[in-house]
Amino acid sequence: MPELPEVETIKRSLHPKLVGRKIRDCEIFYEKCIKTHAPEKFINGVRGATIENIERRGKYLKIFLNTAEILLIHLRMTGRLIISPKGDPVTKHTHVIFHLDNDLQLRFIDIRKFGTLYLLPGEELHKVRGYRILGPEPFGEEFTLEYFKKAVKERKKNIKTLLLDQDVVAGIGNIYADEILHAAGINPARPAESLNGNELEKLYHSIKRELKKGIENRGTSFSDYVDGEGRKGKNQDYLSVYHRQGCNCSRCGCEIIKTKLGGRSSHYCPGCQE
């Protein structure tokens, strides 16, 4: 499940392979993943373009083309972007192939076909709702403690669900939300408005710390995730609660519980998350 640390790791691994390269051609095997154009139009839009830069915003990847258009990609649950030599066999679930001007290809692979690709002029990014509503980047200047306190206070929904709202802060998904709340010692079911100043401050710092740890470990390869060169991350070896139900909490020794919250699996320690 690519969340901010995974998408950041993919961006870093693709950057040296893609920037400066020209897209010689493009093949689409599953048309529904292209959200902005008919397939032929999409192909015409990328063919011949040179890749100038790659950035991440929330869980989105932005590939800047010299045509002033941006290739915007969201991997959702199981999407992968992989650099492959052109001779490599095309595996099942490969939906789009970008042929580069060397012997490499960029392949979009997605078992569940939830991932989405958009091609649009830079000034039209806001037309993609999920992109438009994104809140501040957790490592950006806008994401201050003051901003965070204001965004959370007087909200009645539980704090776990609020952390997953991309308009509060961009990039947190189910794994890191559980890890962040454990690190901060806060029960995921707590109404956001019930958190005091001290707890909000702990939570704020835990968001930054856990996401940073995820990036340093090059992502969490719990099931499908690999980076742009097919390498797994190692953050799954350092998780405190996610998918650790039945194990003992490393902080207090209590048994980790798995519940449902807002329709999502939620893992926490009943001993030290109050």
Considering the complex, what minimum distance in angstroms separates the CB of residue 161 from DNA?
5
Q: Select from 13-21, 40-48, 231-239, 262-270 the region that touches DNA (CB under 7 A).
A: 262-270
Closest C-alpha to 152, from 182, 184, 196, 209: 196
Catalytic residue (choose from 2, 136, 138, 188): 2
User: Does residue 251 interact with DNA by CB under 7 A?
Assistant: no
What is the Cβ-side half-sphere exposure of residue 53, based on CA atoms within 13 angstroms?
5
C-alpha–C-alpha distance, residues 53 and 116, integer Å: 19
Q: Phi/psi zone of residue 185: left (φ > 0), alpha (ψ -120 to 50 degrees), beta? A: left
Place of tokens 């154009």: 37
User: Does residue 76 interact with DNA by CB under 7 A?
Assistant: yes
Instruction: Read off the amino acid at residue 16.
Output: P
Q: Select from 140-148, 173-181, 206-214, 248-256 the region that touches DNA (CB under 7 A).
A: 173-181
Residue of the chain from 41, 86, 112, 126 that contacts DNA (CB under 7 A): 112
Give the number of other Cβ atoms within 10 Å of residue 61's Cβ: 25
Q: Select from 97-105, 149-157, 210-218, 233-241 the region that touches DNA (CB under 7 A).
A: 149-157
Catalytic residue (choose from 5, 8, 11, 59): 59
C-alpha–C-alpha distance, residues 166 and 168, integer Å: 6
Q: Assess whether 149 carries a catalytic annotation.
A: no
For the record, the structure tokens of 3 come out as 């969340």
Nearer of residues 60 and 204 to DNA, judged by Cβ: 60
Considering the complex, what minimum distance in angstroms separates the CB of residue 43 from DNA?
20
Considering the complex, what minimum distance in angstroms separates the CB of residue 243 from DNA?
8
Residue of the chain from 45, 58, 135, 138 that contacts DNA (CB under 7 A): 58
C-alpha–C-alpha distance, residues 201 and 228, integer Å: 35
User: Which is it for strands 79-85 and 69-74: parallel, antiparallel or unpaired?
Assistant: unpaired
Q: Select from 45-53, 72-80, 82-90, 96-104 the region that touches DNA (CB under 7 A).
A: 72-80
Q: Assess whether 2 carries a catalytic annotation.
A: yes
User: Does residue 236 interact with DNA by CB under 7 A?
Assistant: no
User: Does residue 205 interact with DNA by CB under 7 A?
Assistant: no
H-helix or E-strand containing 210?
helix 197-216
**Which residues participate in catalysis according to the annotation?**
2-3, 59, 264
